[in-house]
Amino acid sequence: MREDNIIREEDYVLLVLDDKRRWIVKAKAGGSFHTHKGIVKFDDLLGQEFGTSVKSTGDRELAVFRPTIADMALLKMMRSTQIIYPKDSAMIVIQCGIGPGSKVVEAGTGSGSLTSMVANYVRPTGRVYSYEARKEFLDTARKNLELAGVSECVEIKNADITQGIAEKDVDAVILDLATPWLIVQLAWEALKGSGVLSSYSPTIEQTQKTVKEASKDDLFGDIQTYECFVRKILVREGKTRPETFMVGHTGYMTFARKLNKNSRQTNQTNFPAFAKL
């Protein structure tokens, strides 16, 4: 994060017209941004402090904020592939015990939205190894990581994670893949003891297969699956009410902690596991 709070060339700014109409754009001297309520000239912003406002040529006032990682994820990265919502990535970061210094394996990179979130919280000494087999995503992902300001903590690997994980003793393995169950054994090998496997899947069948695989031979213990709902409340004088439509489902999040081999050898049957409960 920069020391001062001044909007400069090449900075991303969040323009807010109202609840629904909001954009993240890069400020360029001489440039402008077109909304259906008129044009915003970047020269009106440059040199101002974030938190200022600006008038469009259509005489509408827009607030000018500094975008957060969550804004980036929602507004900037969602174009290329399915993104993970901030509500879910927040839970993943916290349930995985991720913090500054954490060493994390992640797959697939996709547009880099979850990667950015995780990378933001391992800074400055941690590292994210992000696997993506599909070449066509790499450019977008790299651009988005730069945009989020976390490039130096991320190593994007153009590799199929089902073919192996090179890293060892990692703190967490975070999966957002169509077939996460294929990676469970590899994740176990990559994790340190007590390290967390996290898997995010839209369907219950993906979740079932992954939980089943994770509980096999007591590879993992304390296996938990959650779904998270967020509802917006419209707080308005005399007419406060929740928003009519909400996102009712994004994905199921599964978390599991690595059990060491010695425990598993001497004890095949005592942990809470898929097959036994």
Residues numbered 48-67 forming contacts with a second copy, rule: CB under 8 A: 49-53, 55, 60-61, 63-66
Question: Exactly one of 10, 30, 36, 275 binds a second copy (CB under 8 A); which one?
Answer: 275
Residue 202 CB, nearest distance to a second copy (Å)? 5
Q: Which residues between 126 and 165 bind a second copy (CB under 8 A)?
A: none
CA distance 172 to 58: 50
Q: How far is the CB of 122 from a second copy (least distance, A)?
A: 9
Compute the least distance from the CB of residue 34 to a second copy, in Å: 19
For a second copy, give the closer residue by CB, 69 or 154. Answer: 69
Binding range to a second copy, per CB under 8 A, among 39-47, 99-107, 127-135, 179-187: 99-107
Nearer to a second copy (CB atom), residue 89 or residue 111: 89
Structure tokens given for 200: 């995010």
How many residues bind a second copy, per CB under 8 A? 103
What is Dmax (Cα atoms) for the chain?
Answer: 73
Q: Are the C-beta atoms of 76 and 111 separated by less than 8 Å?
A: no
Q: Is 36 in the site for a second copy (CB under 8 A)?
A: no
**99 contacts a second copy (rule: CB under 8 A):** yes
Of 23-31, 137-145, 158-166, 197-205, the segment contacting a second copy by CB under 8 A is: 197-205
Q: What is the DSSP letter of 85?
A: P
Q: How far is the CB of 158 from a second copy (least distance, A)?
A: 27
Question: Is there binding between residue 78 and a second copy (CB under 8 A)?
Answer: no
CA 129 to chain centroid, in Å, comes to 14
Cα within 13 Å of Cα(243), Cβ side: 10
Question: Given the complex with a second copy, which of 131 and 190 has the nearer CB atom?
Answer: 190
CB-CB contact of 15 with 76 (8 Å): no
Q: What is the dihedral of CA 6, 21, 251, 188, to 10 degrees?
A: -20
For the chain, the distance separating the N- and C-terminal CA atoms, rounded to the nearest angstrom, is 48
- Burial of 185 per CB tally in 10 Å (0-12, 13-18, 19+): middle
Candidate list 35, 140, 185, 263; residue touching a second copy; CB under 8 A: 263
CB of 233 to a second copy, least distance (A): 4
For residue 124, whether the previous peptide bond is cis, meaning omega lies within 30 degrees of 0, is yes
Measured torsion, CA atoms of residues 213, 217, 218, 219, in degrees rounded to the nearest 10: -60
As measured in angstroms, the least distance from the Cβ of 159 to a second copy is 26
